[in-house]
Structure formats: structure tokens, C-alpha cells
Structure 1
């Protein structure tokens, strides 16, 4: 009897970590999984898909356009999943945005503009949250959600008063996260002194910090009893986003994600669920 393959949807998988994870799955576990690749640009997505098909001609992989910032684009892929698969087993929210100097080589006195903050949050935070919320009804009852985050999002990088606020789980909702994002935008509007800052001076750091807060405080109420959600830091990886200065290869950066996909059993894992994971171990968020 032929084994029914689990379906993995990976956002932002036309390059970098996402593309590498597609390769990991198809080269190491194609007997267990089939993959849906996505990209926000049709041409680049098709080129990546054809590259995968040429390298793995016998494996089951599809491509669908997906811009997680766009309501209609998310609606389109949900419809595609519903009609072609009915359900998926794993969502990997990998799509992300980083303006290089917002994290690396910040000039003296740097503060992100409101435009930079909103663009970063639109993908890294709100697009990711909305993608998660819209996929949950189409996730199998023992399914997994992998949220690709970053050590840059650890709350220890935020001012002390903000750390205390983020550690307070009472009444923490998506609306609360939206209010905190608006507060960061206000900080970006005016030049302030470090002593007056409520957030770090990096839109990327704050976007990932609030994503981690969402996973930790809201994630458990969003998923079903036997589903799991994981927050993963791949480390500093050699990609377009991470730059060539990064010490890790794509395969090294994807090790924890691939482990959670292929080796951690489906169903609720209380030791890892809604936790922040690096190198296969839970770390402080």
C-alpha cells in the first residue's frame, strides 16, 4: 500500500533558506512529503520551481504565487489548497524582509523611518500572522506550523520596560500586538535619545520580537489541541538577507527546521510547542 505523503507549504521559497528547505525535504525525505513552493514574484518563483524540477524530476512539488502582504494573494492560495489538497500538514512561514542597514552596519544615530518600519512589519509580523490565521482551518488536526524568526527578536535586545510589558501574558492578543507596533511607529517618527527609547533602533529586531510574542502568547489559543507551533532561529546564514559575511551555510541554518519537520512526531509536543528553538534546543525568547 502506497504511503500517503504529508503536504508542506513553504512561504518565500524561491531562494535562500526557503529554497534550501525545499531541497532538504526532496533530497532526504521525499518518501514522506510533497512540497508547495511559493514566491511573491511569478517569474522568479517559476524559475526556482523549474530549477527544483530539473534537479528532482521524480519528486512531488508544486508552485503557487503568494505575497503574504496581499489579502487576495493569501485568499488565492488558501482556495488552491482547499481545492487541490483539502488540507496541508505543515506550514513554514519563511518569507521575511530586511533592509540591510536596519540590522547590519547601522550608521551612527540610526533610526528606521516609519516607511521602513511599516514595510518590515507588513511582511515579518502582520503578513505572517494573517497567513497563520488563514491556514489554521486548513491544517490537519495533528499539523505543525514553523515560524522562522531570529535571535535578533529576543526580548533581551529591548529596553527593560518593554521586556516587562512583553512578558505579561494577560490580555495579550493580536490587537495588543498591533498597538505595540503603532507605538514603535511613533518612536520612528521623531529623533529620540537612547535614554528615551521604548524599542530598539531596528525595525527587523522589533518585528521579530513581536512575532515571538505572538507565538508565545497567542499561538496556543490559535491552534487545535493536537497541533504544534514552533518559533525557530536559523542563526546568521549566508543568504541575500544574511549577506556573505554570515558564518552558517543554508543547510546549517535549516537544520532545526528540517528536524522539526522530519523527526519530531506529528501532534502536540509540550516541550517544544510555542517555544523559541535554536539548534534543536529551546532557548530564552
Structure 2
């Protein structure tokens, strides 16, 4: 892939994916990494200082009015090549999980961050993604042509839910899965791959210290599987190792 936009790169999986990409034998020419506050993204800034391919874009993704400026910044860099991949990674997981403790503000924030942001950012990026798809029309559907990758979770699977609870996070990710499926249908004619991905249970601020996977392992396997995805994977829900997950 020539260019990729990844949200939520100040820490965790977003940062891990950026680290993985720059280590590829043929890394992307342009890696656009968003964060809310670049002053707090010390590790990302250090990485960008030694890799000119990394462009740090400061944005609060909940401020939808700023999307136009974000797209303009990316367009100035990629020009006629467009944007190959939008990776909607940024997410929010509330601490309250039970029906007796769930809070309205947590539900709303989860839905806005985990569902509304990926939908609206995908919409904003469509002209750039379509441009990339047209430019690479002789390449098979996948991340080397044009793709939207939405970071979901197994907790968004309705079929796999045997424990209940986790209302805000489960519902927001289930809604994201539904949106991704619709995108895969609506954008098929444009040659844009749309997939939702479960990164595994990873040791991050969100996943906690007991998670079995470290960030570098999950990130590496995510990139490996993304590079293999094709039109047969369009509209699917997959785990970091390529296993297809139940809706």
C-alpha cells in the first residue's frame, strides 16, 4: 500500500500498527497517524523523527467539523494517488459494564467514538479512497488498491455473547459491524474493500494487564492478514489471525 490513515496512534494498537508498518520490507510511502494531542504522543513523535513517511495529524475525531481540514492535509500529500487505506482504530471502552451501573454518557460516548466516527470519517475519506481505487484499478481488491478497515471486537459479536454485560462497548461494536457490512455492499462497485477486524485480547490500557497478546504480536499479525485480504474477504468479520468470526 502506498498510503494509509490510522486513527488513535498516540498509544496502544494504533502506535503498534505504525511501528509494524515502518518495519515492512516495502513500507507505505505515507503513514498518516492521528492523535488528539501531539504533545502527549511522545513515542509517536520520536518515531516520526526517524521516519519521514509518518505524518502526525492532530485531531479530535469527535469534532466532525474538522474532518474537511484533515482530508485537505492528506490530499496535499497524496495528490492524485489518493488514499489506499483508512484504518479506523480509535476506540473507547467504558468501565461500567453491568445493566445496573451503565451510564447514559458512557453509552453515548461509546456509540459516537466506536460507531459514528468510523462511519463519518469513512464518508469524508471516500473521494480519496475512490481516487486510489481508480488509480490502481488493475490491482485486485485489497489494501494495495483501496480499503476501509474498521477495528471491531469479538465483544461486538451477538452470536458469541454468552456472558452478557459490557453494554456500551458491545452495542457500539455490533453497530460498527453492521455499518461495515453496508459499506462493503455500497462501495463494492468502487473497488473498495471493507472489513471489520478483531485484534485479539491485547495488553493495552483498554485490554488490561491480563490479556494474553502483546501489542507488537497483534499488530504484526494484523498487518500480515491485511496484506492477504482480497475481494473474498469483503464485508467479513475477522480475527487478527485471519479466522472468520460469527456475527
Q: How far apart, CA to CA, are the structure 1 residues paired with 2:51 and 2:112?
A: 37
Q: How far apart, CA to CA, are the structure 1 residues paired with 2:62 and 2:11?
A: 18
Task: Tell me what 1:8 maps to.
Answer: 4
Match 1:36 to one of 7, 15, 32: 32
- CA shift, 1:227, in A, is 1.7
Q: How far apart, CA to CA, are the structure 1 residues paired with 2:25 and 2:110?
A: 33
Aligned residues: CA RMSD? 2.2
Q: How far apart, CA to CA, are the structure 1 residues paired with 2:118 and 2:28?
A: 26
Q: Within 5 Å, which residues of 2 pair with 1:11-30?
A: 11-30=7-26
- CA shift, 1:113, in A, is 1.4
SS at match of 1:85: helix
Q: Are 1:69 and 1:127, in contact at CA under 8 Å, matched by a contact in 2? A: yes
Q: Is residue 2:154 matched to residue 1:151?
A: yes
Task: Tell me what 1:129 maps to.
Answer: 119
Q: How far apart, CA to CA, are the structure 1 residues paired with 2:17 and 2:202?
A: 13
Q: Are 2:22 and 2:51, in contact at CA under 8 Å, matched by a contact in 1? A: no
Q: How far apart, CA to CA, are the structure 1 residues paired with 2:188 and 2:104?
A: 32
TM-score by length of 1: 0.74
Distance 1:62 1:249, change over 3 A: same
Q: How far apart, CA to CA, are the structure 2 residues paired with 1:216 and 1:8?
A: 21
- CA shift, 1:260, in A, is 3.9
Match 2:100 to one of 110, 118, 126: 110
Q: Are 2:22 and 2:28, in contact at CA under 8 Å, matched by a contact in 1? A: no
Task: Tell me what 1:202 maps to.
Answer: 167
Task: Tell me what 1:271 maps to.
Answer: 232
Is the radius of gyration larger for structure 1 or structure 2? 1
- CA shift, 1:203, in A, is 0.4
SS at match of 2:3: strand
CA deviation string 1:142-168 (max 9, x = no partner):
301111100000012569xxxxxxxxx
Q: Are 1:98 and 1:120, in contact at CA under 8 Å, matched by a contact in 2? A: yes
Number of positions where the alignment pairs a residue of Structure 1 with one of Structure 2: 230
Q: How far apart, CA to CA, are the structure 1 residues paired with 2:112 and 2:191?
A: 29
Unaligned runs of 5+ in 1: 160-198
- CA shift, 1:229, in A, is 1.0
- CA shift, 1:74, in A, is 1.7
SS at match of 2:232: coil
Q: Are 1:146 and 1:257, in contact at CA under 8 Å, matched by a contact in 2? A: no
- CA shift, 1:223, in A, is 5.1
Q: Is residue 2:247 matched to residue 1:281?
A: no
- CA shift, 1:76, in A, is 1.5
Q: Are 2:38 and 2:45, in contact at CA under 8 Å, matched by a contact in 1? A: no
Moved more, 211-220 or 85-94: 211-220
Q: Are 2:196 and 2:235, in contact at CA under 8 Å, matched by a contact in 1? A: yes
Q: How far apart, CA to CA, are the structure 2 residues paired with 1:223 and 1:217?
A: 10
